[in-house]
A and B are shown apart, each in its own frame.
Chain A
Amino acid sequence: MLTFILKRLGLALLVAFTVSFISFSLLFLSGDPAAALAGETASGEDVEALRRLYGFDRPMLVQYGEWLFSALRGDFGESYYFKLPVASLIADRLQITMTLGVCGIVFALVTAVPLGVVAAIRPNSLIDRVALFLSVAGQAMPSFWFGLILIVVFAIQLGWLPPSGAASWKHFIMPTIVLGYYAMPAIMRLTRAGMLDVLNSDFIRTARAKGAGETRVLFKHALRNAIIPVVSLAAVQMGFMLGGSIVVESVFALHGAGYLAWESIARNDLPTVQALILVFSMFYIVFTFIADVLNAWLDPRMRSA
């Protein structure tokens, strides 16, 4: 198990390194950063001056090395637009996004997994159909639309919840539901399919032949095996949620990292965009690593991989 974790950790670091290089160079591929920074009305001389000032005239590898070295110390430079250190800017906004992401995935898991299990135990039952309907609806309905409906009903009509902002936990209820609902269908369907598959397997019959009760068979023997692919999926979803919460953050006016990414891209705020891409990628890598370790813990066959 330990060698497995170390191997995966090494792999994660390698991927992180590669991603950092790609995220750095992508921005150079997207055009001349000095020209973008100077704006459309700037003269050629101004652009050249900016180029020298920010060091864009040096070889790319040197710039990358410098950027990475500072980044490792938590220094991502200064935001062109906010004129603030990028690190503290992101740290600030990340709190909101992280809270939202964690709440979202937890909400998705605690609703989708039980629904998937029940749907698998009673295929074609009422609950199975309701679950199927929810998952189809979840995929068909865009997040912003669902968010607006919730705001109209619960904030404006009923007045139970605040429509926007991030001042209290109440502000996070609707965004959590909208973000979680987006991840639910896939988790539910994978749980259902996994349970149906596992419940038909020989070792479940063995468990019953031992005199194990239905609860024990379902949870100890079946779910433990069926949940393995769900863990990987949830990790990927979590990554998507952190990076892709832009829509939800905009609808509910939560100024999180997703919203910051949108602002920075719109304003050509290069250091911020670079740092955000790096941070989101790192989250992705960390979640995948956690999922791998969890999977190895759940499935002993994977430990030797």
Chain B
Amino acid sequence: MSETLLSVKNLTLDIPTGSGTLHAVRGIDFDVRRGETLSIVGESGSGKSLTSLAVMGLLGKTIKRSADEIRFADIDLLKARKRVMRDLRGNRIAMIFQEPMTSLNPAYTIGDQLTEALLLHRKVSRAAALARAVELLEKVGITAAASRLSQYPHQLSGGLRQRVMIAMALMCEPDLLIADEPTTALDVTIQAQILRLLVDLTTEMNMAMILITHDLGVVARVADKVAVMYAGELVETGPATEVFAAPSHPYTRGLLRCIPQPGKTARGAALGTIAGIVPSLVGEVTGCAFRTRCAHAIPACRDPIPQRGDASHAFRCVFADGALSEEGKVA
């Protein structure tokens, strides 16, 4: 098994708000090995973006980050100075954002923006950086790559801009790529292409990836590991195949019922949704956050919830079997 590249332990993010502290992320653990793809799934607002920004060290000043460990390769990111973080960002850890339309600077050419990270982190000439930019633009499937260098973001479509963002993130061949819902803002037809591209490139460059999405269908196809996030907590983590074959947490099972299955879901059949709303995370949050929407909730769900399963496939639930045996009774 390859070495651990990123290890996060007990990450907690608190945001002061007018009505009290928002406990946006509460004690989550995960790790990513070299070359591996970890997918973080969860509804919007569950804290996925904040988690990735916390790793990048790009949280706003108002957000309070604490953790037992955030380690990248042999660097302790909790203690790392600004200078060290800057050297990592865009170099060894790169990130792709959800909003391709607004994530590029309108005032600079594609060429300027593509080469920026490489010129910042490596001692290369501008000509060499531009050559590398062309190479990557071709790699992400952009035609007439050389002529794109002098274009401005507003001259490109959303799909093209996201391809540019991907090329930009890969300029320094990072060890870890964090892709925060890279396809959400795009047309459905383009979503699949971009995703395919990301998977091919991470395989080709032997790059680890944290793929953030709220689409479990995507995860099933590309991820080695899955972390299911709900209201600021990881309710289940494990190898993708296992989590899909034997989802342990009621929330994971709920999510899985929401994806149409080729051959199983009848054409036109209603897709499942999980009823109820996400609880407020302002003020003290105890017990299982999912209990307000869980069909199997019992009074004990208000108490601290034990971690179950093993190190590789873990989940948090009062029921030792994640209420799997309750399922039949309710139905």
Residue positions of A touching B, CB distance < 8 A: 201-203, 205-213, 221, 224-225, 298-301
Report B-chain residues with C-beta under 8 Å of the C-beta of A208: 58, 89
In the complex, are the beta carbons of B154 and A212 less than 8 A apart?
no
In order of increasing CB-CB distance, the 3 nearest A-B pairs are A210-B90, A211-B90, A211-B89
Q: How far is the CB of A305 from chain B (nearest CB, A)?
A: 12
Number of B interface residues, CB 8 Å?
Answer: 27
Q: Which residue of A lies closest to B99 (CB)?
A: A202
Q: How far is the CB of B52 from chain A (nearest CB, A)?
A: 10
Report A-chain residues with C-beta under 8 Å of the C-beta of B165: 206
Residues B277-307 near A (CB distance < 8 A): none
Which of the segments B31-39, B63-71, B113-121, B256-264 contacts the partner chain? B113-121
Given A206-B168, A210-B94, A211-B89, 7 new contacts (CB under 8 A): A206-B105, A207-B105, A208-B89, A210-B168, A225-B105, A225-B107, A299-B106
In the complex, are the beta carbons of B105 and A301 less than 8 A apart?
no
**Given A205-B97, A301-B152, A212:B120 Cβ within 8 A:** yes
In the complex, are the beta carbons of A210 and B103 less than 8 A apart?
no
In the complex, are the beta carbons of A300 and B89 less than 8 A apart?
no
**Given A211-B117, A212-B116, A212-B120, A225:B106 Cβ within 8 A:** yes
Can you list 10 A-B contacts with CB-CB less than 8 angstroms, sorted by A residue number?
A203-B104, A205-B97, A206-B103, A209-B56, A210-B168, A211-B86, A211-B88, A225-B105, A300-B107, A300-B109
Q: Which of B86, B105, B154, B168 has the most CB of A within 10 A?
A: B105
Q: Within the assembled complex, what's the spacing in Å between the Cα atoms of A203 and B168?
A: 13
Report A-chain residues with C-beta under 8 Å of the C-beta of B58: 205, 208-209
Q: Within the assembled complex, what's the spacing in Å between the Cα atoms of A154 and B299?
A: 79
Report B-chain residues with C-beta under 8 Å of the C-beta of A201: 102
| B327 interface contact, C-beta 8 A | no
Q: Which residue of A lies closest to B101 (CB)?
A: A202
| B326 interface contact, C-beta 8 A | no
In the complex, are the beta carbons of A206 and B152 less than 8 A apart?
no
Q: How far is the CB of B212 from chain A (nearest CB, A)?
A: 14
